[in-house]
């Protein structure tokens, strides 16, 4: 495992630094119910919710996708701050990296306004140079545009010295598309064919493990 110091680290948000699956699941099922669809199990929500809403909802709800969007966001905004849960070791990780003067950013497919509201609620916005969510850039993750926006103003360009840390295939795909170093952070190790052409270069079972590595950078 390389211990070369990164110039920057870009984090995914949901289920990389915070646990928001219960909120997403609740909001999604509220939307499905009001739109007359069958409700999803939590496992189905975790499997199906990957892309940004503006990309996923037209496929799911057709020409009524904007109605569904408004239902989803109304429910989400009502509950997301009170039910926001920090993943173990996440804040210590951010503090450690920030203290080392490593540039930090966020690229998420969560609505940019809701994303920044959560970061401010946790007082984590102080750690990040830029916090980029869905609809902030011309295209959403896994496209390169939100990565470029996250690095804007830092004098850092995407490359192997920029780590992209996330918990899903779309995060690893974003890393590859932008030329960044892909880092998977989740309890389960990557399976042989799970990520296809977008295999992570490193895997950590949680934020605590990445903090241990960061202490050596």
Q: Are residues 103 and 73 part of one domain?
A: no
Q: What is the tally of structural domains in the chain? A: 2
Q: Are residues 183 and 135 part of one domain?
A: yes
Q: Is residue 59 part of a domain?
A: yes
Q: Are residues 207 and 194 part of one domain?
A: yes
Can you give the pLDDT at residue 4? Answer: 82
| pTM more than 0.75 | yes
Q: SS3 for 165?
A: strand
Beta carbons of 49 and 56 less than 8 angstroms apart: yes
Q: Domain containing 65: what range?
A: 21-79
- Please choose, from the candidates 184, 181, 186, 180, the residue with its C-alpha nearest in 3D space to the C-alpha of residue 195: 184
Q: Are residues 103 and 26 part of one domain?
A: no
Q: Are residues 74 and 101 part of one domain?
A: no
Query: How do residues 139-198 score in pLDDT, each as one tens digit?
Result: 999 999 999 999 999 999 999 999 999 999 999 999 999 999 999 999 999 887 889 999
Q: Are residues 121 and 38 part of one domain?
A: no
Q: Are residues 168 and 124 part of one domain?
A: yes
Q: Answer with the one of 51, 79, 107 that is the final residue of a domain.
A: 79
Q: SS3 for 212?
A: helix
CATH of the domain at 90: 3.40.50.1000
Q: Is residue 60 part of a domain?
A: yes
Q: Are residues 122 and 155 part of one domain?
A: yes
Query: How do residues 38-67 score in pLDDT, each as one tens digit?
Result: 999 999 998 888 777 888 899 999 999 999
Q: Are residues 127 and 114 part of one domain?
A: yes
Q: Are residues 109 and 62 part of one domain?
A: no
Alpha-helical regions (H) of 40-144 = 42-48, 53-61, 65-79, 90-99, 112-121
Q: Are residues 74 and 90 part of one domain?
A: no
Q: Answer with the one of 52, 79, 106 that is the final residue of a domain.
A: 79
């Amino acid at each position: 495992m390389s211990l070369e110091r990164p110039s920057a680290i870009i984090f995914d948000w949901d289920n990389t630094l915070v646990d928001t699956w219960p909120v997403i699941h609740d909001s999604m099922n509220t939307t499905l119910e009001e739109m007359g669809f069958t409700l999803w199990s939590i496992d189905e929500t975790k499997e199906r919710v990957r892309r940004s809403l503006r990309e996923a909802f037209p496929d799911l709800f057709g020409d009524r996708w904007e109605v569904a969007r408004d239902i989803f966001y109304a429910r989400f905004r009502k509950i997301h701050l009170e039910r926001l849960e920090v993943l173990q070791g996440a804040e210590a990780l951010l503090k450690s990296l920030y203290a080392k003067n490593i540039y930090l950013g966020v690229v998420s497919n969560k609505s940019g306004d809701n994303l920044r509201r959560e970061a401010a609620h946790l007082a984590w916005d102080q750690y990040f140079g830029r916090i980029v969510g869905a609809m902030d850039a011309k295209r959403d993750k896994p496209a390169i545009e939100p990565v470029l926006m996250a690095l804007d103003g830092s004098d850092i360009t995407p490359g192997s010295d920029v780590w992209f840390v996330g918990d899903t295939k779309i995060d690893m795909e974003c890393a590859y598309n932008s030329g960044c170093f892909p880092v998977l952070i989740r309890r389960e190790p990557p399976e042989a064919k799970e990520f296809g052409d977008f295999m992570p270069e490193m895997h950590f079972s949680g934020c605590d493990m990445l903090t241990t590595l960061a202490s050596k950078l």
